[in-house]
Chains A and B, each alone.
Chain A
Amino acid sequence: MGEMDFIQHEVLPSLFEGLGTSILLIIPSAVFGLVIGVAIGVFRVFGNPLTEKLASTYVAIFRGFPLVVQLFIWYFGLPHLGIYLSPYTASIIGFSLCSGAYHSEYVRGALLSIKRGQLLAAQALGFTRTGMIVSVILPQAIRRALPGCGNELIYLIKYSSLAYMITCIELTGKGKIIASETFKFTEIFMIIGIFYLVMTTIAGRLLQYVEFRLEIPGFEHYGA
Chain B
Amino acid sequence: MSKPPVLRAENITKRYGKKVVLNNASLSICERELKILIGPSGSGKSTFLQCINFLVTPDRGRVWLDGREILRTHKRDLNAYRQKVGMIFQDFNLFDHLTALANVEIGLTRVRKMGKEEAREKAMQGLEQVGLRDHIAKYPAQLSGGQKQRVSIARALAMDPEVMLLDEPTSALDPELITEVLAVIKDLRANGMTMIMSTHQLNFASEVADEIVFLEDGIIVEVGPPDKILYEPECERTIQFCSKMRELYGNSR
Interface residues of A (CB under 8 A from B): 115, 117-118, 120-128, 131, 135-136, 139-140, 143, 216-219
Q: Distance (Å) between the CB of B97 and the closest chain A CB?
A: 5
Residues of A within 8 A of B97 (CB): 139-140, 143, 216, 218-219
Which residue on A lies nearest to B85, using beta carbons? A124
- 9 A-B contacts, Cβ less than 8 Å apart? A115-B93, A117-B91, A118-B96, A121-B95, A126-B79, A126-B82, A128-B79, A131-B110, A217-B142
Q: Is B114 an interface residue (CB 8 A)?
A: no
Residues of B within 8 A of A219 (CB): 96-97
Q: Distance (Å) between the CB of A38 and the closest chain B CB?
A: 16
Contact B75 A128 (CB under 8 A): yes
Contact B89 A218 (CB under 8 A): no
Contact B75 A125 (CB under 8 A): no
Contact A218 B159 (CB under 8 A): no
A43 to B104, CA, bound (A): 28
Q: Is B1 an interface residue (CB 8 A)?
A: no
Q: 7 tightest CB-CB pairs across the interface, nearest first?
A: A218-B141, A126-B83, A124-B87, A117-B93, A121-B93, A217-B139, A217-B141
Interface residues of B (CB under 8 A from A): 50, 53, 55, 75, 79-83, 85-87, 89, 91-97, 106-107, 110-111, 138-142, 152, 155-156, 159
Which residue on B lies nearest to A138, using beta carbons? B97
Which residue on A lies nearest to B141, using beta carbons? A218
A3 to B181, CA, bound (A): 78
Q: Distance (Å) between the CB of B172 and the closest chain A CB?
A: 11
Q: Distance (Å) between the CB of A166 and the closest chain B CB?
A: 42
A50 to B147, CA, bound (A): 42
Contact B155 A218 (CB under 8 A): no
Residues of B within 8 A of A131 (CB): 110-111
Contact B159 A125 (CB under 8 A): yes
Q: Which of B53, B92, B111 contacts A127 (CB 8 A)?
A: B111
Which residue on B lies nearest to A134, using beta carbons? B110
Interface-central residue, A120, A125, A136, A218, by most chain B CB under 10 Å: A125
Contact A124 B82 (CB under 8 A): yes
Which residue on B lies nearest to A131, using beta carbons? B110
Interface-central residue, B96, B140, B152, by most chain A CB under 10 Å: B96
Contact B155 A125 (CB under 8 A): yes
A140 to B96, CA, bound (A): 8
Contact B95 A136 (CB under 8 A): yes
A165 to B97, CA, bound (A): 44
Beyond the given A125-B106, A126-B82, A218-B139, please list 20 additional residue pairs across the A-B interface where CB-CB is below 8 A.
A117-B89, A117-B92, A120-B55, A122-B95, A124-B55, A124-B89, A124-B156, A125-B82, A125-B83, A125-B155, A126-B79, A126-B107, A126-B111, A127-B107, A127-B111, A136-B106, A139-B97, A217-B139, A218-B140, A219-B97
A124 to B50, CA, bound (A): 9
Q: Distance (Å) between the CB of A64 and the closest chain B CB?
A: 34
Q: Distance (Å) between the CB of A215 and the closest chain B CB?
A: 11
A128 to B55, CA, bound (A): 13
Q: Which of A122, A135, A218 contacts B96 (CB 8 A)?
A: A218
Contact B94 A121 (CB under 8 A): yes
Which residue on B lies nearest to A120, using beta carbons? B55
Residues of B within 8 A of A139 (CB): 97
Residues of B within 8 A of A216 (CB): 97, 139
Residues of B within 8 A of A143 (CB): 97
A115 to B141, CA, bound (A): 15
Residues of B within 8 A of A121 (CB): 87, 89, 93-95, 152
Which residue on B lies nearest to A143, using beta carbons? B97
Q: Distance (Å) between the CB of A110 and the closest chain B CB?
A: 12
Known: A125-B107, A125-B159, A126-B107. A118 touches B139 (CB 8 A): no
Contact B89 A123 (CB under 8 A): no
Q: Which of A123, A127, A218 contacts B110 (CB 8 A)?
A: A127
Contact A120 B93 (CB under 8 A): yes
A122 to B159, CA, bound (A): 12
